[in-house]
Amino acid sequence: MASTQGAAEVLVASNRGPVSYVLKDGDEGGPIEARRGGGGLVSALSVVEDKLWVCSALTEGDREAVRRGVSEPGVRMLDIDADVHADAYNGVANSVLWFVHHMLYQTPLEPSFGPEFRRQWASYEAYNRAFAEALAEEAAPGATVVVQDYHLTLVPGMLRELRGDLRIGHFSHTPWAPVDYFRMLPDDIAEQILKGMLGADRLGFLTRRWADAFTDCCTRILGGTSGTRIGVHGLGADADFLRERAGRPDVEERLAALREQVGEGRQVIVRVDRTELSKNIVRGLHAYELLLETRPDLREKVVHVAFAYPSRQDLAVYRDYTDEVSRVAEAINSRFGTQGWTPVVLHVKDDFARSLAAYRLADVALVNPIRDGMNLVAKEVPVVSDAGCVLVLSREAGAYEELGEDALVVNPYDVSGTASALGAALALGEEERAERTKRLAAAGTALPPGQWFLDQLAALQE
């Protein structure tokens, strides 16, 4: 494998690629339809046209496309065994590494690393090795490879062994755990992850805080970072795209529908999140409930528009959390709602146009994660808000480093403090709100996705 060299000069590796395949009519022998993906990473990487994107087949349609030799230019999809992928993706990446970096464990009971974890870890190694071998095969001599995220922490080290000539970068889109929490992982696994990452020439993080946490782990566990360079690239929102997209007819249509749901003359608190455990939606709802309880003057004058799009529903803990979000929202409406006022307007079906409509409507944006690598919603809402909005922001979001000065900052665990911040946000004067919004939008779009990626490439090639 190491001796084979391809022609790609710039390569990207990520679990999810820019395209997915659907078996039409669900027929295995029938035609396959390719669907281009959206999202920040696809947008960011589109600035480099001549690149190869190595990704994993995620669905039966994807696997069938690989088996038939169906592909898109510039994409190599890997048909990794479905059971191996499930172990690596759900068993390790999403159920262990995500939980460690977001500090989500209920430690009296979890984690518990026994034989089943070791079996899944072997799959995680195999999954990472498949990526490393594909990258080694496709990369031209001296090519630049940028590996994405916690799914592929072992790839840099594995690829370095196969192809010492390559310039290898890795970017973490999540927080990095503080060393004492990271050390919950078995010692050999913690070392393996860090050494895998340090196979890169350069590692990128969203904030200085996460970069420093990684460095601290390396120093305490390995004795140093072995000369690997570490940089910070605070991914921003794409202002041009958001403003154009937010003005399209489908958004206008949804805006009119939302206005009708909210009712005339009411202030609007907006949140848009996946039902990800780290997003802290339930405490946000409890804070809003406390606001209504302690400020009867606000009843019938404010509506909480909460979009909570189901995430990772193949994991029971996420299904339970999604159910709890709905239960709490219904309880608030039952307790406080009147014939002409629904306190919480909850939507659980993902709809980007409706999200943008909510952004435009927002008087207050609530972004209160327990822990978040960045949180682009905090950066996006001020860009498209029609009348300006106040950002109530958790100090545990990566976006806090850039936006904290112009936001009302909260401790995400403090429901009383969050309720007070929501009340203060609703009371803020128009002029101050407009000024804050302008500064938030400028800070939030300072490093748009395309430039974010080009900066990493330039730093790698130095």
Band (2; pLDDT cuts 50, 70, 90): very low
pLDDT in tens, 341-367: 999 999 988 889 999 999 999 999 999
- Pairing relation of β-strands 8-13 and 52-56? parallel
pTM of the model: 0.95
* Residue % of the chain over a pLDDT of 90: 85
- Distance, in Å, from the CA atom of 411 to the CA atom of 98, rounded to the nearest integer, reads 21
Two structure tokens written together for 127: 């999954």
CB atoms within 10 A of CB 427: 10
> What's the average model confidence in pLDDT over 295-304?
97
Mean pLDDT for the chain overall: 94
Distance CA 130, CA 320 (A): 33
As a whole number of angstroms, the distance between CA 307 and CA 340 comes to 21
pLDDT of residue 38: 67
pLDDT tens, position by position, 417-455: 999 999 999 999 999 999 999 999 999 999 999 999 999
Q: pLDDT digit string (tens) for 201-230? A: 999 999 999 999 999 999 999 999 999 999
Looking up tokens 């014939």 gives 339
Give the total residue count for the chain: 462
**pLDDT range class, residue 5, cuts 50, 70, 90:** confident
Residue 266, judged by CB atoms within 10 A of its CB (0-12, 13-18, 19+), counts as middle
Q: Find how far residue 459's CA is from the centre of its chain.
A: 23
pLDDT digits over 384-395, tens only? Answer: 999 999 999 999
Band the pLDDT of 310: cuts 50, 70, 90: confident
| Rounded Cα gap, residues 84 and 343, in angstroms | 45
